[in-house]
């Protein structure tokens, strides 16, 4: 059974079918119910919720950071959300984790706004 995936090619985002996923993507889908966009340099995981799409994780290998790769993956999830009829995207950041300040600043740069916070989690939201 083929699955639909987002493939980033240079600056173009296209949807194509693929037959296999990494073990991590299979695990995340089975264990957490998330979808995964994977590239050789990083991945993003996201969930389709009833009223919005949730960007769960973005990871870029250290040698590729600072090249807008995280933005490319975020844009791919936005494209999926728009095509599915969503108008909002949320994400969250745990402030106590290393690099969280940079992540929050990057998300604000990508038009996310503070939505709420609880304990050690900051929730951000944006219109898509």
Q: What is the pLDDT of residues 4-61, one digit of tens each?
A: 555 565 555 555 544 478 999 999 999 999 999 999 999 999 999 999 999 999 999 9
Tally of domains within the chain: 1
**Domain residue limits at 114:** 39-127
Q: Is residue 95 included in any domain, yes or no? A: yes
Handedness of CA 77, 80, 83, 85 (dihedral sign): negative
Q: Is residue 110 included in any domain, yes or no? A: yes
Alpha helices in the chain (DSSP H): 23-32, 69-83, 100-109
Reported pTM: 0.84
Alpha helices in 35-110 (DSSP H): 69-83, 100-109
- What's the chain's length in residues? 128
């Amino acid at each position: 059974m083929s699955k639909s995936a987002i493939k980033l090619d240079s600056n173009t985002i296209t949807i194509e079918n693929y037959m296999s996923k990494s073990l991590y993507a299979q695990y995340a889908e089975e264990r957490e119910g998330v979808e995964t966009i994977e590239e050789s340099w990083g991945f993003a995981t996201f969930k389709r919720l009833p009223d919005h799409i949730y960007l769960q994780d973005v990871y870029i290998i250290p040698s590729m950071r600072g090249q807008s790769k995280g933005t490319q993956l975020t844009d791919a999830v936005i494209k999926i959300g728009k095509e599915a009829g969503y108008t909002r995207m949320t994400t969250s950041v745990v402030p106590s984790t290393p690099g969280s300040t940079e992540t929050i600043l990057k998300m604000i740069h990508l038009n996310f706004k503070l939505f709420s916070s609880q304990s050690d989690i900051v929730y951000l939201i944006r219109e898509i």
